[in-house]
Structure 1
Amino acid sequence: MRTMKFGAAALLLMCTTPAFAGEKDKEVWITIGTDALEPALTSFQGQGLVAPTVAHEKGGVAVVRVRESQVEKLASVMHDKLNRCAGFIAHDSEEQALAAVESSTSPKAVQSLISYTIDNATTVNSLLGSVQESSIRSTITSLSTKWTSRRYNVQSGVDAATWLKNQWTTLAGSRSDVSVAFFNHSSWLQPSVILTIKGTSLPNEVVVLGGHLDSINGSSSTASAPGADDDASGIASLTEVIRVAMLKGYKPARTVKFMAYAAEEVGLRGSAAIAAQHKSSGTNVVGVLQLDMTNYRGSSYDIVLVSDYTNAAQNSFLSSLISKYQPGVTSTSTRCGYGCSDHASWHNQGYPASIPFEALMGQDNPYIHTSSDTLTRSAGSAQNSVKFVKLAASYMAELAKGTAGSALVPDAEAER
Structure 2
Amino acid sequence: MRTKQLGAIALWLACATPAFAGDADKEVWITVGTDALEPVRASLLREGTVLPAVAHEKDGVAVLHVRESQLDKVSAVIHSKLNRCAGFMAHDSEAQAREALAQLTPREMAPSLVSYTIDNPTAAKSLVGAVTESGIRGTITSLSTGFPSRRYTLASGKDAATWLKDRWTTLANGRSDISVELYTHSSTVSPQPSVILTIKGTSTTSNEVVVLGGHLDSINGSGSSAAAPGADDDASGVASLTEVIRVIVAKGYRPLRTVKFMAYAAEEGGLRGSKDIAAKYKSTSVNVVGVLQLDMTNYRGSSPHIVLVSDYTNAAQNTFLTNLLTQYVPNTVVGTTRCGYACSDHASWHNQGYPASIPFEAYLGEDNPTIHTANDTLAQSAGSAQNSVKFTQLAAAYVAELAKGTVTVP
* Fold match (TM-score > 0.5): yes
Q: Answer yes or no: is the 8 Å Cα contact 1:112–1:284 preserved in 2.
A: no
Residue 317 (structure 1) aligned with residue 320 (structure 2): yes
Q: CA deviation at 1:147?
A: 1.1
Cα-to-partner distance string for 1:211-246 (whole Å, 9 max, x where unaligned) = 000011122111111111100000000000000001
Q: CA deviation at 1:406?
A: 3.5
Question: Residue 231 of structure 1 corresponds to which residue in structure 2?
Answer: 234
Cα-to-partner distance string for 1:177-231 (whole Å, 9 max, x where unaligned) = 0000011011231000000000000210000000000011122111111111100
Question: Residue 207 of structure 2 corresponds to which residue in structure 1?
Answer: 204
Rounded to whole Å, the distance in 1 between the matches of 2:108 and 2:297 is 27
SS of the equivalent of 2:229 reads coil
Q: Answer yes or no: is the 8 Å Cα contact 1:87–1:337 preserved in 2.
A: yes
Classify 1:205/1:367 alpha carbon distance in 2 versus 1 (closer, same or farther; 3 Å): same
Farther-moved stretch of structure 1 (162-171 vs 125-134): 125-134
SS of the equivalent of 2:54 reads strand
Question: Residue 252 of structure 2 corresponds to which residue in structure 1?
Answer: 249
Classify 1:52/1:150 alpha carbon distance in 2 versus 1 (closer, same or farther; 3 Å): farther
Rounded to whole Å, the distance in 2 between the matches of 1:312 and 1:120 is 22
Rounded to whole Å, the distance in 1 between the matches of 2:212 and 2:326 is 20
Question: Residue 44 of structure 1 corresponds to which residue in structure 2?
Answer: 44
| Aligned equivalent of 1:192, options 194, 199, 205 | 194
Question: Residue 364 of structure 1 corresponds to which residue in structure 2?
Answer: 367
Q: Answer yes or no: is the 8 Å Cα contact 2:211–2:261 preserved in 1.
A: yes
SS of the equivalent of 2:130 reads coil
Q: CA deviation at 1:97?
A: 0.8
Classify 1:209/1:282 alpha carbon distance in 2 versus 1 (closer, same or farther; 3 Å): same
Cα-to-partner distance string for 1:281-315 (whole Å, 9 max, x where unaligned) = 11110000000000011000000000000000000
Which amino acid in structure 2 is aligned with residue 339 of structure 1?
Answer: A
Rounded to whole Å, the distance in 2 between the matches of 1:109 and 1:57 is 19
Alignment of 1:344-355 (within 5 A): 344-355=347-358
Q: CA deviation at 1:98?
A: 1.3
Which amino acid in structure 1 is aligned with residue 336 of structure 2?
Answer: S
Q: Answer yes or no: is the 8 Å Cα contact 2:103–2:351 preserved in 1.
A: yes
Rounded to whole Å, the distance in 1 between the matches of 2:108 and 2:380 is 38
Classify 1:23/1:354 alpha carbon distance in 2 versus 1 (closer, same or farther; 3 Å): closer
Farther-moved stretch of structure 1 (34-43 vs 296-305): 34-43
Classify 1:365/1:93 alpha carbon distance in 2 versus 1 (closer, same or farther; 3 Å): same
Rounded to whole Å, the distance in 2 between the matches of 1:46 and 1:297 is 36
Q: Answer yes or no: is the 8 Å Cα contact 2:107–2:312 preserved in 1.
A: no
Question: Residue 35 of structure 2 corresponds to which residue in structure 1?
Answer: 35
SS of the equivalent of 1:389 reads helix
Residue 384 (structure 1) aligned with residue 398 (structure 2): no
| Aligned equivalent of 1:280, options 279, 283, 286 | 283
Which amino acid in structure 2 is aligned with residue 223 of structure 1?
Answer: A
Alignment of 1:289-308 (within 5 A): 289-308=292-311
Rounded to whole Å, the distance in 1 between the matches of 2:304 and 2:144 is 26
Residue 75 (structure 1) aligned with residue 78 (structure 2): no
SS of the equivalent of 2:103 reads helix
Q: How many residues align?
A: 386
Q: CA deviation at 1:75?
A: 1.7
Q: CA deviation at 1:23?
A: 5.6
Cα-to-partner distance string for 1:69-103 (whole Å, 9 max, x where unaligned) = 21122222221211112111111110111122222
Question: Residue 3 of structure 2 corresponds to which residue in structure 1?
Answer: none
Rounded to whole Å, the distance in 2 between the matches of 1:251 and 1:129 is 17
Provide the identity percentage: 70
Higher RCO structure (Cα 8 Å, ≥6 apart) = 2
Rounded to whole Å, the distance in 1 between the matches of 2:113 and 2:196 is 25
| Aligned equivalent of 2:336, options 314, 333, 336 | 333
Q: Answer yes or no: is the 8 Å Cα contact 1:211–1:235 preserved in 2.
A: yes
Rounded to whole Å, the distance in 1 between the matches of 2:109 and 2:34 is 24
Segments of structure 1 that go 5 or more residues without pairing to the other structure are 1-21, 408-416
RMSD: 1.7
Classify 1:49/1:218 alpha carbon distance in 2 versus 1 (closer, same or farther; 3 Å): farther
Q: CA deviation at 1:389?
A: 0.1
Residue 115 (structure 1) aligned with residue 115 (structure 2): yes
Classify 1:105/1:399 alpha carbon distance in 2 versus 1 (closer, same or farther; 3 Å): closer
Which amino acid in structure 2 is aligned with residue 35 of structure 1?
Answer: D
SS of the equivalent of 1:73 reads helix
Which amino acid in structure 1 is aligned with residue 202 of structure 2?
Answer: T
SS of the equivalent of 2:206 reads strand
SS of the equivalent of 1:195 reads strand
Q: Answer yes or no: is the 8 Å Cα contact 2:24–2:68 preserved in 1.
A: no
Segments of structure 2 that go 5 or more residues without pairing to the other structure are 1-21
